[in-house]
Amino acid sequence: MSTTRPINKWLVTITVMLPTIMEIVDTSVANVALPHMKGSLNAGTDEITWVLTSYLVANAVVLPMTGWLSRMFGRKRFLITCIVLFTLASFCCGASPNLGSLVFFRILQGAAGGALIPNSQAILMETFPPREQGMAMAIFGIGAMFGPIIGPALGGYVTDQLNWRWIFYINFPIGIIAVIMAAAFLVDPDYLKQRQKISIDYWGLALLVLGFGSLQLVLDKGQQEDWFASGFILGFSLLALLALIALLWVELRHPDPIINLRLFRYLSYAAGNALMFVFGFCLYSTIMLIPLFLQTLMGYDATRAGMVLAPGGVVTLCVMPFVGAALSRGVQGRVIVCGGLCIGATAMFIMQGLTLEASYWDFVWPRMVLGLGLGMIFVPLTTATLAAIPKPEMGNATGVFNLLRNIGGSVGIAVSATLLQRFSQHYQNVLVAHATPMNPLFQDKLAALTQVLTHRGLAEGEAGASALGLLYATIQHQAGILAYNHIFWIIGIAFLSVIPFLLLLRRPQH
């Protein structure tokens, strides 16, 4: 018989959503402030990116061990400790006098933040009865999708109006409120109160830190270091591979593993994790590519690029409660996910046709279509994946589930950045091959531009050189648009490629 006192589920929801939103916003809020940090801290371009990388590496290491740590210390105590540490680390980040201290406190912030999302998700799944878990995940999804949408815009506004340090200081009052509410409204379930002594998985802990830390470094620095042409990337890739293989062997043999890989015996859970990996790949790659496209090729500033993303984010937030309600009424989650994947692919194929003459609304409406698709994927996929997991293992399950979304996002960003550079170079070589004296169209265009520049007062030789420069810039822009279009097509195919996995998702039994 349960001895847990009843707590209003909506108070619990608000309590766990505060640290969730705080952590997710902090994952992306620092991106737009990097140039300001670079000048303030007297750091180089390569050095300042460690502000982002250090956070992601620490986050990736802690995510999968969240369930184990909750069993060790109790979920409520562990969650409150993480909120306190995250809040204090945020304040110290804002007060950092140099880059070294900022990176150190970002590592602490990432380590504390890594446990906030899976713990919050596990608490929501246990607080709501099975038939209402779809709505619970819809509420959680609103917070999860809110972060990537509001983070860059909030970071840019705060940095411009105040100072980059305030993007960290604003966490302080939110963290204090979250700690007070967690202490008042959260209660550990009975299976966590009656904890038995757990043997510490030292080898698993060491291999986890080594494996996922090395993998995150490879994904974050690969394109910058030219991938496997760099000894640094090659060394860390081998280290990550060996450490993760050893981690699999150790975890399957340990009685109290850091990561409970035995959960993958649940077919729905295994299939859902594969789907979530691809979802992270598609989500984060589009969030990275669309603003880059707008600012590098279309001449948009950061604010206007954000206004292109915002309507799609609003659509995602609006559709999630309706998806949660549909799940509560018995609609099969995999049917909704299939519709979302098809809609997401359609949006990518629409973006594949964008040109340099596209208007603002030509970018906005396919982004809204994509937002509709994303809103239909996250909620039912999360519900179907976690529905079969026993409550004592929920912390482990949500930790690995969120880890695969983050790793998928890192892979998506790394692959997209690499393909963008390689495709741009390929298409530039193809187009330049036509810019020869033997091509009459090229000669006519060069002559017309030279004549225009001559009429504007340039000497004939200078006008010819300037005209060649303008044509080369045009070729670069056209190569860029072809590269983006090709990557959008690949992301669309990625959406469709995982539809067969939906057959493995079982309908939750309420």
**Domains within the chain, CATH numbers bracketed:** 1-198 (1.20.1250.20), 201-255 (no CATH), 260-510 (1.20.1250.20)
Here the tokens at position 154 are: 């909030």
CA distance 290 to 366: 11
**What average pLDDT does range 141-151 have in this prediction?**
67
User: Quick check: 340 pLDDT over 80?
Assistant: yes
What secondary structure letter does DSSP report for 255? Answer: S
What contacts 420, CB < 8 A, 6 or more positions away?
A: 289, 292, 483, 484, 487
pLDDT of residue 2: 40
Total residues belonging to the chain: 510
Q: Give the range among 105-114, 291-300, 434-443 with minimum mean pLDDT.
A: 434-443
Q: Which residue has the higher pLDDT, 267 or 306?
A: 267
Q: Which residue, 331, 345, 340, 326, is CA-closest to 372?
A: 340
Q: Among 127, 160, 158, 136, which Cα is nearest to 25's?
A: 158
- Within 8 A by CB and 6+ apart from 155, the residues are 28, 29, 30, 31, 32, 33, 167
How far apart, in whole angstroms, are the C-alpha atoms of residue 372 and residue 378? 11
* Residue corresponding to tokens 């997710």: 24
Does residue 301 sit in helix, strand or coil?
coil
* For range 320-324, the mean pLDDT: 83
Q: Distance between CA 313 and CA 152 in Å, rounded?
A: 13
Distance CA 157, CA 432 (A): 41
Q: With 60 as the cut, is the pLDDT of residue 508 above it?
A: no
Q: Confidence band (pLDDT; 50, 70, 90) for 510?
A: very low
Q: How many C-beta neighbours within 10 Å does residue 506 have?
A: 18
- For residue 31, is pLDDT > 80? no
Distance CA 208, CA 60 (A): 9
Question: What tens digit of pLDDT does each residue of 43-68 get?
Answer: 765 566 677 767 777 777 787 777 77
pTM of the model: 0.75
4: left (phi over 0), alpha (psi -120 to 50) or beta: beta
What would the pLDDT profile of 238-270 be if each residue is shown by its tens digit? 988 898 888 888 878 877 777 777 888 888 888
Higher pLDDT, 5 or 29: 29
Mean pLDDT of the chain: 78
pLDDT tens digit sequence for 177-208: 988 888 888 877 766 655 556 666 678 778 87
Band (pLDDT 50/70/90 cuts) for residue 320 is confident
Q: Cα 281 vs. chain centroid, distance in angstroms?
A: 8
The mean-pLDDT minimum among 121-135, 268-282, 422-436 falls in: 121-135
Q: What is the DSSP letter of 436?
A: S
Most confident of 27-36, 100-109, 143-152, 426-435: 100-109
One-letter-per-residue 3-state SS of 384-426: HHHCCCCHHHHHHHHHHHHHHHHHHHHHHHHHHHHHHHHHHHH
Helix (H, G, I), strand (E, B) or coil at 131: helix
pLDDT tens digits for 365-402? 898 898 898 888 888 888 888 877 777 777 778 777 87
326 pLDDT higher than 80: yes
Q: Which of 67, 75, 108 is nearest to 90 (CA)?
A: 108
pLDDT above 50: residue 490: yes
pLDDT higher than 60, residue 6: no
Q: For residue 277, give both structure tokens.
A: 């990996």
Confidence at 442, pLDDT banded by 50, 70, 90? low
The string of pLDDT tens digits covering residues 70-127 is 777 777 888 889 899 999 998 998 888 888 888 888 888 888 888 887 888 778 777 7
Q: What is the mean pLDDT of residues 147-168?
A: 71
pLDDT of 172 higher than 70 = yes
Of all helices (H) and strands (E), which one includes residue 2?
none
Q: Which of these, 243, 488, 452, lies nearest to 350 by C-alpha position?
A: 488
Average pLDDT over residues 274-294: 83
CA angle 476, 479, 483 (to 5 degrees): 135
User: Does position 278 have pLDDT exceeding 60, yes or no?
Assistant: yes
Of 138-147, 283-292, 324-333, the one with minimum mean pLDDT is: 138-147
Give the pLDDT score at 489.
Answer: 93
Report the percent of the chain where pLDDT is more than 90: 6
* Strand, helix or coil for residue 196: coil
